[in-house]
Structure 1
C-alpha cells in the first residue's frame, strides 16, 4: 500500500469514528458539516433559540392554557381550574334554568370575519397582479423606485393611515364633496361595512404586491415572445406562462392578506364604527368590558387554529406552484 493510500484510509477513519458516536443532542442541534476554524461552538446559539421560543410559543401557550380555565365569580382573570365552558359558549348558551340550546351568534361573527377577509384577499390579489406585472416589465432603476413607492405606507403608523381614511370617507370628505358637485348627493360611507373593507384593502394591498413582484421580477419575458411565435393567444400566454410563473407569489400574497385580515381589529373599529363586529373586536371586548378572559382566550385559540390551517394550505399550494413554475 502506498503512502497516499495510507493517508486516505486514515482520513476516512477519522471521519467515521466520531460519526458512530453521534449523540442525540448532536442529531437535533448539531450540523452535518464540521465547524470551521474560528467559528463559535453551536452551543452559543442555544440562548437565542430559547429566547425565540419564549417570545413566540410562550404567549401562544399562555392563551391556550387560559382557554381551558374557569372564569372567576367576580372581576377578570382566570381561576386555575380545568374547564371547557369557554368552548361550549361558542356554540351553546344556557338559560336561567340551566337548559342548553344552540347559539349561532358567535358563528355569525366568525362568518362576517371570514367574508370580509375573503373579499379583501380576492380584491387585493386582483389589483396586485397587474401592478406587479407592470412593475416587473420596467427597467431596474424604475423598479427600485416603484418598490419604494409601494412600501411608503409602511413608513406611517397604521392608526394615522386609518384616521386619514376616516377624513376621506367622512360626510364632509373629498369623496362626498365630489358626489355633491356631480349632483348625486352625500352618501353614508363612514361607519359601514364598505368602509371597513376599504380600510382592509388599503392596509394589505402592499402585502399582495410585493410577493407577486418578487416572483415576476426574475421572469424571462422571452418565454412570452416564444409563446406568441408558437401561435398562443394573449389569454393563453397570460394563463399558462405569466400567471403560472407568478403563482408562488400569488399564494404568498393570499396568505399574507387573508391571515391578518381575518383577525383585524383597527379597521372595523375605526372605519366600521363598531357596527361591523369581527372576531378581533369580540376578543378585545371579552378581555376589556366583559372581562371574560377564558372566552377571549378560546376565541383567540380558534383564530390561531384557522390561521395555521390557512398557512399550511398556502404553503402546500405554494410549493406545488413553485414546482410547476420550475417545470
Structure 2
C-alpha cells in the first residue's frame, strides 16, 4: 500500500509539472502577442485620439492654437465641461470647401497612377531577380536596397538637377539630337510620377521578389508543354501566384504616396494640389490645427477602412478555401 501511495504521488507530481509548464508557455505566448498591441496603442491609437480631439476643437490665438485644452487642474467637472465644447464644425467646414475635396481626389489619382507605374516597372525587376542564379540574388537585393543608404531628401533634390530645363536629361537629349529645345518636365505631374516611382520602387520590388522566389516554375514549363502561350501562362500561373506580393507592394506604395509632401512640393511646384501639401499649409502657414486635424483624420479613414475591408474579404476567402 505504501509503495502504491508513493507511486501515486510521483505520478500526480509528474502530471502536475507539465500543467505548470503549459501555463507558463501560455502566459509567454500571450505576452508575445501583447507587445505589438501595446506598440499600436502607444504609437498609433493614442496619437490618433489626440489628433481626433484637436479636430473637434475650435481655433484660438493661443498656445496651443485651439480650445478647449484639457488639463489635470480642471478636475472632473472641468473635464466634462471641456468635453461639451467639442464640435463637428470642422468636418462640416470641409464639406463646404471644394479645395479639400479636390486635394483628396488629386492625391488618390496621383497615388493610384504612381502605384500602377511602380508595379509595371517593379514586376519585371522582381521576376528577373527571382529567376537569377542563386549566387547572384544577394547582390541584386543589395542593389535594390542601395538607394536607402542615401538621404531621401538628397535623392529628391538630385531629380531637380536631372529634370530642370538645363538639367542632365535635357542636355543629353539635345546632345543626341532627339529634341531641339528643353522639355518642361519639372513642376509637372510627370515629375511627381517620376519621383514617387523612383523613391518607392524598392517597396514594390521586395514583396514581389519574396512571392516570386517561392513559386514553382515547373508549372510554367508544364503549361508551355501543353501548348499554353507564354502570355497566357503568365496571367494564369505567374500573376495569380504572385498576387500576395502585388497586393503588399501596392499598399506599401499607395499609402505613403497618398500623403506624400516632399516630392510634390519639390518636383511638382506650387500649383500641385495634394492632401499632404494642404495639411502642411493648414498646420504651419494658417496655423489652423483643428481643420488640419480633421483633414488628417479623414485621410486616415480613407486609407485604413479599405485595408480592413480587404483583410476581412481575404480572411473569408481563406476560410472558404479550407
TM-score, scaled relative to structure 2: 0.82
- 307-316 or 296-305, which moves further after superposition? 307-316
Q: Mapping of 1:48-63 within 5 angstroms?
A: 50=38, 53-63=41-51
Match of 2:224 among 224, 228, 232: 228
5+ residue gaps in structure 2? 69-84
Aligned position for 1:187: 183
Q: Contact 1:168–1:175 at 8 Å: present in 2 too?
A: yes
Are 1:89 and 2:77 an aligned pair? no
Distance 1:205 1:85 in 2: 40
Question: Residues 116, 322 of structure 1: CA spacing in aligned structure 2 closer, same or farther, 3 A cutoff?
Answer: farther
Match among 124, 131, 151 for residue 157 of structure 1 = 151
Matched with 2:268 is 272
Q: CA deviation at 1:83?
A: 1.4
- CA, structure 1 residues 320+251, in 2 after alignment: closer, same or farther (shift >3 Å)? farther
Change (3 A) 1:308 1:48: closer
Inter-CA distance 166–235: structure 2 relative to 1 (3 Å threshold) = same
> 1:236 offset after TM fit, Å?
1.8
What is aligned with 1:77? 65
CA 1:117 to 1:52, structure 2 compared with 1: closer, same or farther past 3 Å?
closer
TM-score (norm 1): 0.81
Q: How does 1:281-300 map to 2 (within 5 A)?
A: 281-300=277-296
Unaligned runs of at least 5 residues, structure 1: 19-31, 93-102
Report the Cα offset of residue 65 of structure 1: 1.0
1:35 aligns with 2:39: no
Q: CA 1:313/1:172 → structure 2, altered by over 3 Å: closer, same or farther? A: farther
Deviation above 4 Å: which 4+ runs of structure 1? 5-18, 39-52, 73-76, 316-324
> Quick check: 1:228–1:237 contact (8 Å CA) kept in 2?
yes
Q: Which has the higher helix share?
A: 2
Aligned match of 1:252: 248
Q: 1:21 corresponds to which residue?
A: none
Q: What is the match of residue 114 of structure 2?
A: 120
CA distance in 2, matches of 1:219, 1:59: 40
Inter-CA distance 46–79: structure 2 relative to 1 (3 Å threshold): same
Look up the SS of the partner of 1:113 in the other structure: helix
Match of 2:237 in 1: 241
Q: CA deviation at 1:17?
A: 9.3
Cα drift, residue 34 of structure 1: 3.2
Which residue is equivalent to 1:148? 142
CA 1:265–1:137 in 2, change beyond 3 Å: closer, same or farther? same
Residue of structure 2 equivalent to 1:211: 207
CA-to-aligned-CA distance 1:268-307 (integer Å, 9 cap, x gap): 0111122212101110111111010000100110111011
Q: Identify if the C-alpha distance between structure 1 residues 193 and 178 changes in structure 2 by more than 3 Å, giving closer, same or farther.
A: same
| Correspondence 1:197 to 2:197 | no
Question: Aligned-pair distance for 1:322?
Answer: 7.8
Q: 1:132 aligns with which of 126, 129, 154?
A: 126
Cα contact 1:113–1:279 (8 A) shared by 2: yes
Contact 1:252–1:314 (CA under 8 A) maintained in structure 2:
no
CA RMSD, 1 decimal: 3.4
Give the distance between the partners of 1:323 and 1:216, measured in 2 at CA. 24
Alignment deviations for residues 136-157 of structure 1 (CA, whole Å, 9 cap, x no partner): 0011121111111011111111
